[in-house]
Structure 1
Amino acid sequence: MADHLPARTPASPSEAAPRKDVVPRRGPASPRDIKRWRHYLADEEAEGAIYEALAERSKSPEEARVLRGIAAAEARHAEHWRGQLGQYATPSRPSAQRVLLRFLAQRFGSVFILALAQRAEGNSPYAKDSDALRSMAADEAVHEEVMRGLATEGRLRLAGNFRAAVFGANDGLVSNLALVLGIGATGVSSSFVLFSGIAGLLAGALSMGAGEFVSVRSQRELVQASQPTHATLRAAPDLNLSENELKYVYLARGMSEEAAEHRAAERLGSLSCDCDPSTSLPPGLKEGDTLEESEEPDTIGSALGAAFSSFLCFSAGAVVAIIPYILGLTGLTAIIWAAVLVGAALLFTGSIVGLLSGASPLKRGLRQLGIGLGAAAVTYLLGLIFGVSAA
């Protein structure tokens, strides 16, 4: 490779004037510049392929159009780096994150990919790189928000049962590790520790499942109690027209004075048009009906689904802590392996939460690890104290 690129000169005097969207003219590019620009070019081409793949798999024409628009912007960015590189415009390998994203997008195309793409766009180096156009840095900031918006629906669908699953898994990991370490530290036999761990698994899983069912069901009942019933039509014929009590119903629902009077007039038959659809019934419902479970907010999740997810995930988390005892390990060796296995699982679950929320998977994983092992350390110390006292 040659050591330098030829210096770039403006095509006209107007281009020589500083503009916010033009890279200022400078001397020959260094080998380090060339290497960095090639990396940028590879990442832009990979991101364009990611968005095209997501658009191909999207079931929504609007979403596909948005994704193809983002892919076109990435193509413009790639063209900029080709212009910078000139005869050296051969991309290097894209970053490992882009390679993984492209692989997943071509095969799955889910909220996980959109969340990863959101984080990738948010980590763009263009804002601090003088060789990137300011418009490119602005594009990347906008792309992050676009990915956030596209991922919102999927996150809302996951929010109810996903919350129960994550909560159940982490509770199983932490509570059973704390139980096993606390009992193991007292010096009792390994078979007793294993039995205690199995008992803790079953008791905790059943408690979590029942608790989630009651919690979600109660939340749904509270939401149902606040849903408008549209029973006003039945009362309308008997209302005192001069007092117009009906408007207070719509004022209580948050409508303005004018809108409430307009809607009340419609219900009373003074107006024939239905100009304000904000309080109309959902499709398929009749006057006086309430919302069925399937029509309630997705963020709550179903009671049975949350209970089942919580039961299974608590069990899956709790069993990790007793794997060393199931395999026949004893004493301090079993305790260390239990802590290591649970620690790895906490890192994994924390990373998944971080990934889906668009935050740093490593930071979220370390947070889960610190909380879990901290709680287990407390019970282990208590076990040591009681074990010494008993001796």
Structure 2
Amino acid sequence: MAGNRAVAYVGPGKVEVRTIDFPELVLKDGPGVNPLNVGRKCDHGVILKIVSTNICGSDQHMVRGRTTAPSGLILGHEITGEVIEVGRDVEFIKKGDLVSVPFNIACGRCRNCKEQNTHVCDNVNPDRPGSAYGYVDMGGWVGGQAEYVMVPYADFQLLKFPDKDQAMEKIRDLTMLSDIFPTGYHGALSAGVKTGSTVYIAGAGPVGLAAAHSAQLLGAAVVIVGDLNEERLAQARTFGCETIDVSKHDDIGEQIEQILGVPEVDCAVDCVGFEAHGHGPNHTEAPATVLNSIMQITRAAGRLGIPGLYVTGDPGAVNEDAKVGTLKIRFGLGWAKAHTFVTGQTPVMKYHRDLMMSILSGRAQIAKAVNATVITLDQAPAAYQDFDKGASKKFVIDPHGMIK
């Protein structure tokens, strides 16, 4: 079989397109592969020809050198593809199916999977519960920013699109089902967004924009998005969000009061994570800023959805505590206000079918909300640079030129 071109992390600030082995239904040794996973047979898996695969902000953390990712790691956990090979033990997924791949890798057999907590599967990562493709400390499953990829546990995990022609017409939207649309939706739902809610979304990157659109789908009365980047805030305004430029304002509550008449919201969503900056014109990195600010501006008994990524190992952190994920959080404030916190990876399978139906029916316009921008595989290194500079785009890699 022919080779397989893929996007590899080289070192801080650099990725490149390399030719790697064509995938097989076995997990082989390689950069980032847990030794206990080497040789793992995946007769329950499939080989996909990638139709679309997206660049994620979580990938950007690795590329900036803010994790312990090894050089040579193949990136990419947002995968949509066509099945070209089926393992011996696969019963229901067929060759030729067009499918969305949840970024969580889940066996379907452990207690957590059976309870729909597929984001913390016990059987796919020897280090700890939970796994993902092409991500540091997640077991070493090869990433999908490539031409081809192997996906295990196919019958359990894969979401098959009912009509391939219809799916290709809406592929810019459907490609978001592997991660950011369910992640944004999970953030909004975890925060308790419902009809009439007032919501603050911290961060106007792709996940923040997805959370804002999700809040609208859930019936929010007002969605306010805060960010340091005016280009991204302008994108949020294109679909009806109010915005706050936190680089110009230290006091978010004061800005919220100008919009709502009161300095608080019903619920808030952190779509920034551990590389957060402080607020105001002289802002510097301060990783607990968003967590503390959303506690401040969320009403008593409100809920906080936290899909923003926080890590246990950050070699580029601002202090020794933050290097191991220990942050200066005003937990007493959250306790006093009886806040509910929901954290962790998103269990994609809990939401992706319903969100697929919202896309196919025309109800959800997620590609428009996040400014989906299709690129070739060879354009990926430049796209990573643009994304790092704050481009208000969700880059969708089309490795085979299949997207119209």
For normalisation by structure 1, the TM-score amounts to 0.22
- Structure with greater strand percent: 2
- Structure with greater helix percent: 1
For normalisation by structure 2, the TM-score amounts to 0.21
* Greater RCO (Cα-Cα under 8 Å, separation 6 or more): 1
